[in-house]
Amino acid sequence: MGVIADGRTIRVAVAGFGVAGRCHADTWTGMSDVDVVGVHSTRPDVEGGDIARICGPDVPVFSDFAAMLDAVDADFVSICTMHDTHAAQMIEAVGRGLHVLLEKPICMTPDDLQAVRRAVTAAGVRAFIGFQEFHYGQLQATIDAVEKGYLGRVHLAEIEYFNGISTWTPQYWWARTRQNGGSSMLFCGCHPLMMLMLVMQGAQVAEVQAWDTSSTAPEFAGLEYPATQVNLIRFADGRIGKVTSCLDSLHPYYWRNTLVGSEGSLIDRRILSRTMMAGLEPRGWSDLATRSINDAGDIKPDMFLPMFQRIMDNLRHDVPMPYSGFDAVYQMHRVLFACEESVRTGRPVAPDAFLPPV
């Protein structure tokens, strides 16, 4: 059974009101059985108008996260704050028995990852991580093609994320810093790495080797960390993955999937499958008529609704939560931090030796 009964309104607090926070609030307020009961904002002078417009003029706004949780009677909290506050706020929220949707990344350090894991386990609440990209369109179709066996056993997966983070990016003022953006992988590379883990269907990672570099273009001089990182990932069963996180490209936002398997291949929105249906050309591509992930550079509330609906199904009816469940995303973060350790040391790193599975 679910943890919140059908017919009972779910009372949601929203922490953070930047790009993601506005999308969370907009999506929650559009659901008939949800009330947004409070908002935490560190910039109410900047965000107050949007808060009133989306949530209503009577929703209270708090400058302090814990004070909001003290003041409102919430069942659930969406945490969309700066990355360096995620771990502490997640631990605070689950410690109060609240269910949580936390925007990625979970945290900024391996130690914080372990602390959040312990807190979630001890609290026994439902915890979700905001990978809305996997719940609709191209990436949903890609994952589904793997799960249905259209590609057979995928032995090579290359997931590449290209973006240009500079003054034209709304989040640039904080994303550029080590304190809040963290690194190429923490700010954006967690997306393609999570996609790799999903298409490899939870296979154990044996070791990783990673390198980073940076563009010399003046547009990216303000970034406080190397903006490009390439990660080679060897799975315990012998399969291979590559994840690229490039935040200093001058071309528009572009996500590229290349999956090669025993029964076919999928590159972006083109698929060749020997098992999908009869009558297809055995050496020809078929186009997937699906929404491209490459519109995700412009983040909008409609991108979040499928994930939110699945969260509601989990809370109400105990339907399993795909793609954004805490345990799966925790395992991805273990691999991410192993990749960052490989960059630091210049050597391959075994995630299980660097950061224990539990």
Query: Which domains can be identified in the chain, with CATH numbers?
Result: 10-129 (3.40.50.720), 134-296+330-354 (3.30.360.10)
pLDDT given for residue 299 in this prediction: 86
Q: Are strands 270-273 and 264-267 parallel, antiparallel or unpaired?
A: antiparallel
Provide the sign of the torsion angle of the four alpha carbons 198, 200, 204, 210, taken in this order: negative
- Dump pLDDT digits (tens) for 72-94: 999 999 999 999 999 999 999 99
> Are 216 and 201 a contacting pair, CB within 8 Å?
no
Helix (H) or strand (E) run with residue 146 in it:
helix 137-147
- Dump pLDDT digits (tens) for 251-294: 999 999 999 999 999 999 999 999 998 898 888 999 999 999 99
Task: Indicate the pLDDT class of residue 358, thresholds 50, 70 and 90.
Answer: low
pLDDT given for residue 277 in this prediction: 87
pLDDT, average across residues 37-65: 95
Q: Tell me how crowded residue 113 is: count the other CB atoms within 10 A of its CB.
A: 20
Alpha carbons 33 and 10: distance in angstroms, whole number? 6
Q: Is the pLDDT of residue 295 over 90?
A: no
Provide the sign of the torsion angle of the four alpha carbons 65, 68, 70, 74, taken in this order: negative
pTM of the predicted model as reported, rounded to 2 decimal places: 0.96
Q: Is the pLDDT of residue 1 over 80?
A: no
- Dump pLDDT digits (tens) for 153-196: 999 999 999 999 999 998 999 999 999 999 999 999 999 999 99
pLDDT, average across residues 51-71: 97
pLDDT given for residue 123 in this prediction: 97
Q: What is the mean pLDDT of the chain?
A: 96
pLDDT given for residue 212 in this prediction: 98
Phi, psi of 156 (to 5 degrees): -140, 125
3-state secondary structure of 337: helix
135: DSSP letter: G
